[in-house]
Amino acid sequence: QSVVTQPPSASGTPGQRVTISCSGSSSNIGSNNVYWFQQLPGTAPKLLIHSNNQRPSGVPDRFSGSKSGTSASLAISGLRSEDEADYYCAAWDDSLSGRVVFGGGTKLTVL
Amino acid sequence: EVQLVESGGGVVQPGGSLRLSCTASGFSFDDYGMHWVRQAPGKGLEWVSLISGDGGGTYYADSVKGRFTVSRDNSKNSLYLQMNSLRTEDTALYFCAKVLASGIWGQGTLVTVSS
């Protein structure tokens, strides 16, 4: 069990807006930046969001991140079939001296 | 082109050892900390280890501490993970990654621990 919690699944229809939550504690999300990764089957994770809400170049603005207190969220607007993937949040954890914690991952299904 | 390429994976018996390598290109390797992250079959991502750019700082997940050793050779632009006392639960695809905010990951190398 991860110290950072995500819902195991989420779903939406094309064009919809969906959000994926990531719940942690004061030692990780509450005091450090949050990262979001997308992983398609059989591929390496792709960085979607860093520093809580910053998109790397090339990531569509349909993807947005936010953080409040010890929780973070990834929002995907204008949902597309190619967004069907696993999504992971991550953060450094100050209680674990230099360690990173990943959420358990959320499988997004586009109906 | 910025690239990370892992190698060294394979099949090993429980209790055995394996050394993974990650070769970097396209960036100033010694300027960046490097991570190992693994993914067991059908499971989520698990952070394994981090080494600082100069190699002076190393950090491990509790699940591998005392069994795995991370190192780097900046003259060879290479990162390593020495894995000893391997267990069946160490079976996973092992990725190396440049600092998390970079978004640079290798494609992974598969380690299977099985008798």
The answer to whether A10 and A79 are in contact (CB under 8 A) is no
Q: Residue A44's closest CA among B106, B36, B20, B96?
A: B106
Biggest CA–CA distance in chain B, Å, is 40
The number of residues in chain B equals: 115
The tens digit of pLDDT for each residue in A6-34 reads 999 999 999 999 999 999 999 999 999 99
Q: Which of A99, A106, A107 best tests the B interface by mutation, with the highest count of B CBs <10 A? A: A99
> Could you give the CA distance from residue B69 to residue B64 in angstroms, rounded to a whole number?
9
Q: Residue B20's closest CA among B78, B105, B102?
A: B78
> Could you give the CA distance from residue A94 to residue B4 in angstroms, rounded to a whole number?
28
Copy the structure tokens of residue B56.
């002076």
The answer to whether A50 and B100 are in contact (CB under 8 A) is yes
Q: Residue B82's closest CA among B36, B9, B11, B17?
A: B17
Amino acid B99: pLDDT: 87
Question: Per-residue confidence at B54, pLDDT binned at 50, 70, 90?
Answer: very high
Contacts of A2 (CB under 8 A, 6+ apart): A101, A102, A103, A104, B44
The secondary structure of A22-86 as a DSSP string is EE--TTTTTTS-EEEEEE-TTS--EEEEBTTTBPPTTS-TTEEEEEETTEEEEEE-S--GGG-EE
Question: In this structure, which amino acid lies at residue B96?
Answer: C
- Check CB contact under 8 Å for A47 and B101: yes
| Contact list, A102 vs chain B (CB under 8 Å) | 37, 44-47
The answer to whether B46 and B57 are in contact (CB under 8 A) is no
- Check CB contact under 8 Å for A101 and B95: no
Q: Which residues of A touch B (CB under 8 A)?
A: 2, 33, 35, 37, 39, 43-47, 50-51, 56, 86, 88, 90, 97-105
> Could you give the CA distance from residue A68 to residue A70 in angstroms, rounded to a whole number?
6
List A34's β-bridge partners, or say none.
Answer: A91
Size of interface A-B (CB pairs under 8 A): 55
pLDDT digits (tens), chain A, 111 positions: 678 999 999 999 999 999 999 999 999 999 999 999 999 988 999 999 999 999 999 999 999 999 999 999 999 999 999 999 999 999 999 886 668 999 999 999 999
- With CA atoms as reference, the chain B residue closest to A38 would be B103
Of A45, A50, A104, nearest to B101 by CB-CB distance is: A50
Percent of chain B with pLDDT over 70: 100
How large is the average pLDDT for residues B61-81? 97
Q: Residue B20's closest CA among B66, B79, B107, B90?
A: B79
- With CA atoms as reference, the chain A residue closest to B4 would be A44
Copy the structure tokens of residue B45.
């991502």
Question: Per-residue confidence at B101, pLDDT binned at 50, 70, 90?
Answer: confident
Question: In this structure, which amino acid lies at residue B50?
Answer: L
